[in-house]
């Protein structure tokens, strides 16, 4: 499976080119302090600030769908190309989301708005497709799980091409939930720091076109999945199943740990994730492979997080100039954690042909994806 086109929207910008340049330079300024989401408190959040298209159909009039449509407009030519290349019943749609239109439902009371399948059905209807469509919602691993589903559909000839979307907009329900867990921060998130203070929420959207029949694009080399069966909201600190997911992805890709040039960490900035993920990375890669989190730049975009991070990895592979995404934190590394090779701002690296993206969700759902370009 290859990613033959991709785009993204988040607080850093309205297209992947702008997002890439801000991310590679470690820009953590694109956040707002919001009131009204939690009682008597401030939420530091990454907002998308751009004009969005109008959706007239009331059942589909959701911010998530407007974000998807805005992103699809950036890939208009690519979507038209697959429409000419493949029949409409062989082009699938898979959307990763955790919120859909739960925020709008509070006012509209339209039951269609809180259906998780709404964004997938919207895109299928908008492009007048007649093939497979589905929504994947496995908490914060949703984005990579959507890629796993797409791979299976392509490999089994159910689809010839798939539009993969990852989207979530800000909503009170998840923000209240994270606040109740005491993992939200009104200060910049600093994953792996001894001064970590929690996560910053963001909203985002990423769109990909995936095909098997293409000589161009970013190749998905391996995907690994596992489940902790440990706790509803806390990952297993021993990281057993996270390690299994990493090894599964490496095995499918036919790669060794030393073949990975860069790891985009899940790294939410919480104690539980830092313990688990640093342990998993160290046990497989030691402290050799460059690692960073882009969530201090974008916020944690929930169902869109892995999509934004995958788009960032794709752009890094396409545009590598010696720099990797820096790990922006206060440089007070928590020495109780295993040592990691965190990427420094401005440091030059020799190559970046293979990236690994980590994604971990509530319920112990783990997903790892390895992608490459010019890796032979």
Domains of the chain listed by start with CATH number? 2-211 (3.40.47.10), 218-372 (3.40.47.10)
Q: So what's the pLDDT on residue 375?
A: 57
Asked if 312 and 23 touch (Cβ cutoff 8 Å), the reply is yes
Q: So what's the pLDDT on residue 216?
A: 87
Output the tens digit of pLDDT for each of the chain's 376 residues.
Answer: 999 999 999 999 999 999 999 999 999 999 999 988 888 788 999 999 999 999 999 999 999 999 999 999 999 999 999 999 999 999 999 999 999 999 999 899 999 998 999 999 999 999 999 999 999 999 899 999 999 999 999 999 999 999 999 999 999 998 988 888 889 999 999 999 999 999 999 999 999 999 997 778 999 999 999 999 888 788 889 999 999 999 999 999 999 999 999 999 999 999 999 999 999 999 999 999 999 999 999 999 999 999 999 999 999 999 999 999 999 999 999 999 999 999 999 999 999 999 999 999 988 899 999 999 875 5
Asked if 205 and 166 touch (Cβ cutoff 8 Å), the reply is yes
List active site positions: 140, 266, 300
| Helix 76-85 × helix 63-74 angle, to 10° | 80
């Amino acid at each position: 499976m290859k990613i033959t086109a991709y785009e993204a929207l988040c607080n850093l910008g309205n297209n992947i080119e702008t997002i890439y340049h801000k991310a590679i330079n470690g820009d953590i300024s694109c956040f707002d302090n919001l009131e009204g989401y939690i009682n008597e408190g401030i939420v530091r959040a990454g907002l998308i600030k751009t004009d969005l298209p109008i959706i007239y159909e009331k059942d589909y009039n959701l911010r998530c769908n407007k974000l998807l449509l805005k992103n699809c407009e950036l890939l208009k030519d690519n979507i038209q190309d697959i429409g000419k290349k493949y029949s409409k019943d062989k082009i699938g749609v898979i959307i990763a989301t955790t919120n859909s239109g739960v925020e709008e439902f509070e006012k509209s009371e339209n039951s269609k708005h809180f259906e998780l399948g709404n964004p997938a059905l919207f895109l299928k209807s908008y492009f007048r497709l007649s093939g497979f469509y589905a929504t994947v919602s496995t908490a914060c691993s949703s984005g990579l799980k959507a890629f796993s589903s797409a791979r299976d559909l392509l490999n089994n000839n159910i689809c010839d091409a798939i539009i993969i979307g990852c989207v979530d907009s800000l909503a009170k329900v998840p923000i209240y939930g994270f606040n109740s867990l005491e993992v939200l921060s009104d200060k910049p998130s600093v994953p792996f720091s001894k001064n970590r203070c929690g996560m910053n929420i963001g909203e985002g959207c990423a769109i990909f076109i995936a095909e098997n029949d293409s000589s161009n694009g970013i190749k998905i080399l391996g995907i690994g999945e596992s489940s902790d069966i440990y706790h509803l909201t806390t990952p297993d600190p021993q990281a057993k199943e996270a390690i299994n997911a990493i090894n599964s992805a490496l095995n499918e890709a036919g790669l060794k740990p030393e073949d990975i040039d860069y790891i985009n960490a899940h790294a939410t900035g919480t104690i539980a994730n830092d313990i688990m993920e640093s342990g998993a990375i160290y046990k497989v890669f030691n402290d050799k492979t460059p690692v960073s989190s882009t969530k201090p730049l974008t916020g944690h975009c929930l169902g869109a997080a892995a999509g934004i991070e995958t788009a960032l990895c794709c752009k890094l592979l396409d545009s590598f100039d010696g720099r990797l995404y820096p790990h922006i934190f206060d440089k007070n590394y928590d020495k109780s954690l295993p040592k990691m090779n965190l990427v420094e701002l401005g440091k030059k690296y020799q190559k970046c042909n293979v990236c690994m993206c980590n994604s971990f969700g509530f319920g112990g759902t783990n997903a790892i994806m390895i992608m490459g370009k010019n890796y032979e």
